[in-house]
Structure 1
Amino acid sequence: MNTRNRAAGDGAQMLNLLPTVGGPAPERADAARNRRRILDAAARIVAEQGPEAVTMNQVAHASGIGVGTVYRRFGDVSQLLWALLDDRERQFQEAYLSGPPPLGPGAPAGERLDAFLDALVDRVVEQRAILLAAQTAAPSARYTSGAYLAMHTHVALLVSEARPDAHSGLLAHLLLAPFSPSLMHHLSQEQQLSAPELQRGVRQLLTLRAAPDARPLPDGP
């Protein structure tokens, strides 16, 4: 099996091993449609007004689904917001693990890494309010969450393919470090930088050259 096919297989296998961001439990078609409508309505409210504006009544009205059904499906606002994060994370994982190239398998590792970082900027900017709330509640939980571990493993695989001599595990952490929700919130809200500007900044960071006498990092996990 060549490297590209192996990476694609590893990605598909990894997606199946992430219960914390897995798909919803099997459900009837009508229940699945209702769930989708509720989550899409909550996403619109968050995008337009922020997570603090989400109420179960407002989501029910926006989705056209009875408020009793919304409560039965999600319990309360906090559970609804976490379900929304899980849903968006699942979609993002499917895109970078099994979607079309260059984000998904089928493109060179360097192109896939560029596409992944661009897509991650879009995702973090779009979901910054919910992600920031989650980070504030439990700052260190980011690094042990299923979502972060999946991204770290994916980036490490791409780095090891593009640079076999590199410490891929360390570089993956460093490449993901700028995507801390608090930093992205500061840059996008307080510094008023757009997603394209942030994407260009990440690309420029990746093209900086090390000093001529810098020693290569040792291999590592």
Structure 2
Amino acid sequence: MLAAADALFAADATAQPVSMDAIAAAAGVGKGTLFRAFGDRDGLLDALAAAKFQPLRTAVESGPEPLGPGTPAPDRIVAFLDAVLTFKLENRNLMRAREVAAPGNLRSERYRWMHALLRGLIREAAPARSESDAGYAAHALLAVLHIDLVDELLDTGRSVADIRRAQAAQARAVVGGAPPRSE
């Protein structure tokens, strides 16, 4: 079912018209089966995003540098945000369907995990920051990667490389301008 949904979102230009009916038909199951498995369209979108996001999550939790645990926090924050941007660009239609068309993205398990990771890394990189301030900064860094903003930046002439540079500079400013270990 997730593979059928993924194929439909990947093929669609807007992702909005991909209905549960279309997904059920492509998966060869009844619509009721989808609802029992995922609850609603948002549940299906969250499950698909989580499945596609899992390799990135694994790399962050147990992989090598620059995403893995052995990397200094400022460098890891920059690498993580860059990886999230790449993930969103590679899954643009799915992200547009989840972040723009469907409410509740900030309550998804994937977003909560990303936020908690960044909050912890910000505290590690800038121990003088309060938990509340680190949480706000994590939300702010993730907000810049919302797919409708990324699309707007690209549509108005910014390149992916420009967005990456600006995001890295912003992340470094958030953690006190720590110089990169290597870039």
The two structures have a TM-score, normalised by structure 1, of: 0.59
1:205 matches 2:156 = no
CA positional deviation for 1:43: 3.4
Structure 2 CA distance for aligned equivalents of residues 142 and 53 of structure 1:
19
Structure 2 CA distance for aligned equivalents of residues 170 and 128 of structure 1:
25
CA positional deviation for 1:130: 2.4
Gap runs ≥5 in structure 1:
1-34, 61-66, 210-221
Quote the residue 1:108 is aligned against: 72
CA positional deviation for 1:58: 8.0
8 Å contact kept, 2:99–2:105? yes
- Pairing 1:28-177 to 2, within 5 Å after superposition: 39=3, 42-50=5-13, 51=15, 55-56=22-23, 59=26, 67-68=28-29, 74=34, 78=41, 81-139=45-103, 141-166=104-129, 167-177=133-143
Structure 1 CA distance for aligned equivalents of residues 90 and 72 of structure 2:
27
Greater mean deviation of Cα atoms: 150-159 or 124-133:
124-133
CA positional deviation for 1:45: 4.6
Greater mean deviation of Cα atoms: 108-117 or 200-209:
200-209
CA positional deviation for 1:163: 0.9
Q: SS state of the match for residue 84, structure 2?
A: helix
CA positional deviation for 1:192: 4.9
8 Å contact kept, 2:85–2:145? yes
Gap runs ≥5 in structure 2:
175-183
Percent of pairs with identical residues: 31
The two structures have a TM-score, normalised by structure 2, of: 0.70
Quote the residue 2:161 is aligned against: 196
AA matched with 1:155: L
Structure 2 CA distance for aligned equivalents of residues 191 and 44 of structure 1:
29
Q: Write the deviation string for residues 110-153 of structure 1: whole angstroms up to 9, x where unpaired.
A: 111111011011112222322232333444x2322211111111
Give the length in aligned residue pairs: 163
Measured on the aligned residues, the alpha-carbon RMSD in Å equals: 3.2
AA matched with 2:59: A
